[in-house]
A and B are shown apart, each in its own frame.
Chain A
Amino acid sequence: MINTKSKRPKPKILNPRHWVKFIVGLLKTVFILGICFTILSPLIQKFSMSLMDQRDLFDRMVKFIPNNFRLSNYPELIGYIDYWPALGNTVLVSSIVGLLQTFSTVAVGYGFAKFRFKGSGILFTCVIITMIVPPLIIITPLYLNFRSFDLFGLLPSGSFIGNIVPFIVLSLTAVAPRCALYIFLTRQFFRGIPKEIEEAAAIDGAGVFRTYWSIMLQSARSIMVTIFLFAFVWQYNDITFTGMMYSGLNSVSKKLYLLGYTFSAAISMDASGTAGNLGYMSIMQATGTLMHMLPLIVIYIFLQKQFTQSVERTGLVG
């Protein structure tokens, strides 16, 4: 800018470079806004639907803003799925599982990133295998194992299906669903931290665990937040795994899933008023999905900064 002044600058409007820049910027903005809208539009749709009366659903004039506002959708839904106790249960279980998974996978990832021990290559291949195997296929053998779980005769035989024990065991041993991904991410993160930091700590007399606890974990805060977020959300949303292993848990996700079944049963019973029931059902489902997502969105808004930060710093190399 300073240079152009001395060279008798053309007016900005006449400069083709300026126009190219402007058009590229415009295209970028349009693209970004478009994608943002596409991502947010289901949420917006659900929100507007959750305020609608059934009549609006069939009214072709109504797109986003309902004609007949109906706020009572929310209390009705909360009544249907017993929202508050279910939310309490889900958040408690998800937090426990999330915290355990965070600490176990960070430790394992650190082990893979910073130590060259015999068999580490093979073990890391095992991590990749864990990633490829869909939880669906090991779920039944796991179920059968936990149904009569005695740790090879070490424990009094008993069934652990229907309580939180399978989740705690799987989380502690870093093999719960998606844990392999977290191990992978933390490994990449720790690989990015220079070796000199550990060497300095060792010279200052810190042992391996001391270094890990007071230096590495402090600098890994953002990736830990990310993993906690991932694990928490997965547990919060899951129904397949939880439904099988911990059928007693009254989670919001399960209630929401069953909501559809309750309604479709009612609909098939009453063949005449199908459309009306279906409309009400889809309004309830939209409201329910929104109420289900609401805590997640709140948490995400709070943790979003750490999350995007860790994205910046995870230099993942395959």
Chain B
Amino acid sequence: MKKKNKRRQRLNVNRNRYGYVFVAPFIIGFALFILLPIIQSLVFSMSDITLTMDGYTLDFVGLNSYSRALLVDADIRRLIVNSLAQTFTELPVILAFSFFAALLLKDKFRGRNMVRAIFFLPVIMASGVITIIDNSNATLATMMNRNTADLVNGVRTSLSASKLILSLFSSSVPPAILQLLGSAIDRLYDVIMASGLQIIIFIGGLNMISPSIFEASNIEGATAWENFWKITFPMMGPYFLLNTVYTVIDSFVNIKNPLIMTIQNYLISFSEFSFASAIFWIYFAIIVTVVGIIIKVMSKRVFYYD
């Protein structure tokens, strides 16, 4: 018996070695095209760069760019705080919306396939030039300040009706919450556009819950409401964690993020590249810390089924 086990283990070890073959492309790619550039950008952030005919030269200047970003430049600190605040006000809305949408889309109903196809459209469409053109159209609309504003940007303007509705409740609800809600509703379009992949992740998760659990609880006499809060919600814990991390990262890398836009503007001129890298590294450090804290706090509370 023992012998057999050993043999099996050896077989497994032999088999597992093939894993390197499958992963090999990524190992090479990561070393050459991710790790090396990351290190280079760290080096760049501490030096002055001059482009030459066949490459570039570096002059080490230490933490100059960092102190410039944090202490001298007037905008950077404000932008960092702003983009963090934006991320974390949007996060609960995106999570709630995508969870709700996933619950709706999971059920069978007539025309489900078409509705799903439409809901996943933002995953496909919201990238690259389309977002940029939409953005520039928005500025164009404010420039013209006419009927075109409604045309180009119909959704956003029509949604300011939300302010009217919210003002009805203004006496009974604290204004801070009201403001948060108002901005969330006004940004509904952005929220929908940003939560495509999160819906996919939630639907995948909802499908993983075995129906036998619900059968058992139904036999015990649980209502649908209890089923939801006692089974579905806790079982979705890992997916909430995953989606939180994904949403934070997504808004961090998003080109619509004002800070990323600033970095991009600095990147365009090579002379400012070290400054751009420095801003990036500061922001990166903050985000990694924040994501780390989220994972630490949430993974303690999250319930894992197996």
Contact A278-B144, Cβ < 8 Å, known A173-B29, A257-B129:
yes
Quote the shortest CB–CB distance from B210 to chain A (angstroms).
11
What is the chain B residue whose CB lies nearest that of A255? Answer: B129
Which residues of B lie under 8 Å from residue A107 when comparing CB positions? 22, 25
Band of interface residues on B: 35 or more
Quote the shortest CB–CB distance from B240 to chain A (angstroms).
9
By the criterion CB–CB under 8 Å, are A260 and B133 in contact? yes
Which one of A120, A133, A172, A238 contacts B34 once the chains associate, using CB atoms below 8 Å? Answer: A133
Main SS class of interface, B: helix
What is the chain B residue whose CB lies nearest that of A170? Answer: B33
Which one of B18, B200, B241 contacts A318 once the chains associate, using CB atoms below 8 Å? Answer: B241
Stretch at the interface among A6-14, A31-39, A67-75: A31-39
Q: Complex Cα distance A32/B118, Å?
A: 10
> B245: CB under 8 A from chain A?
yes
By the criterion CB–CB under 8 Å, are B119 and A111 in contact? no
> A253: CB under 8 A from chain B?
yes
Beta-carbon contacts under 8 Å, A35-75 to B:
35-36, 38-42, 45, 49, 57-60, 62-63
Which residues of B lie under 8 Å from residue A174 when comparing CB positions? 25-26, 29
By the criterion CB–CB under 8 Å, are B36 and A134 in contact? no
Q: Complex Cα distance A186/B109, Å?
A: 29
By the criterion CB–CB under 8 Å, are A120 and B203 in contact? no
> A296: CB under 8 A from chain B?
yes
> A275: CB under 8 A from chain B?
yes
Contact A39-B30, Cβ < 8 Å, known A120-B23, A238-B128, A289-B133:
no
By the criterion CB–CB under 8 Å, are A115 and B18 in contact? yes
> B41: CB under 8 A from chain A?
yes
28 A-B contact pairs sorted by A residue (CB < 8 Å)? A36-B119, A38-B188, A42-B134, A58-B147, A104-B25, A108-B25, A111-B21, A112-B22, A112-B23, A115-B22, A116-B12, A123-B30, A130-B34, A133-B38, A135-B253, A144-B40, A144-B56, A145-B37, A174-B25, A234-B128, A239-B128, A239-B129, A282-B152, A285-B133, A308-B117, A312-B203, A313-B207, A316-B242
Stretch at the interface among B66-74, B85-93, B260-268: B260-268
What is the chain B residue whose CB lies nearest that of A148? Answer: B55
Beta-carbon contacts under 8 Å, A167-181 to B:
169-170, 172-175
Which residues of B lie under 8 Å from residue A135 when comparing CB positions? 253
Quote the shortest CB–CB distance from A261 to chain B (angstroms).
10
By the criterion CB–CB under 8 Å, are A256 and B30 in contact? no
> A307: CB under 8 A from chain B?
yes
By the criterion CB–CB under 8 Å, are A311 and B280 in contact? no
> A1: CB under 8 A from chain B?
no
Q: Complex Cα distance A127/B203, Å?
A: 24
Mask: chain B, 274-289; 1 = CB below 8 Å from A; 0 = not: 0011001000100110
Contact A175-B267, Cβ < 8 Å, known A39-B122, A134-B253:
no
Q: Complex Cα distance A253/B132, Å?
A: 10
Which residues of A lie under 8 Å from residue B123 when comparing CB positions? 230
Quote the shortest CB–CB distance from A299 to chain B (angstroms).
9
Total of A-B residue pairs, C-beta within 8 Å: 278
Mask: chain A, 122-144; 1 = CB below 8 Å from B; 0 = not: 01001101111111111111101
By the criterion CB–CB under 8 Å, are A296 and B125 in contact? yes
> B28: CB under 8 A from chain A?
yes
Which residues of A lie under 8 Å from residue B284 when comparing CB positions? 132-133, 137
Band of interface residues on A: 35 or more
What is the chain B residue whose CB lies nearest that of A229? Answer: B124
Contact A132-B288, Cβ < 8 Å, known A36-B118, A175-B29, A285-B137:
yes
By the criterion CB–CB under 8 Å, are B127 and A314 in contact? no
What is the chain B residue whose CB lies nearest that of A41? Answer: B155
Which one of A108, A233, A312 contacts B22 once the chains associate, using CB atoms below 8 Å? Answer: A108
Q: Complex Cα distance A104/B26, Å?
A: 8
Which residues of B lie under 8 Å from residue A293 when comparing CB positions? 125, 130
By the criterion CB–CB under 8 Å, are B242 and A318 in contact? yes
Which one of B20, B130, B263 contacts A292 once the chains associate, using CB atoms below 8 Å? Answer: B130
Which one of A132, A279, A292, A314 contacts B252 once the chains associate, using CB atoms below 8 Å? Answer: A132
Mask: chain B, 42-54; 1 = CB below 8 Å from A; 0 = not: 0010000000001
By the criterion CB–CB under 8 Å, are B29 and A292 in contact? no
> A237: CB under 8 A from chain B?
yes
By the criterion CB–CB under 8 Å, are A208 and B267 in contact? no
Which one of A137, A148, A282, A314 contacts B41 once the chains associate, using CB atoms below 8 Å? Answer: A137
By the criterion CB–CB under 8 Å, are B33 and A237 in contact? no
By the criterion CB–CB under 8 Å, are A311 and B125 in contact? no
List 7 additional A-B contacts (Cβ < 8 Å) besides A49-B151, A312-B203, A314-B200. A39-B118, A41-B154, A117-B16, A120-B19, A132-B288, A308-B113, A318-B239
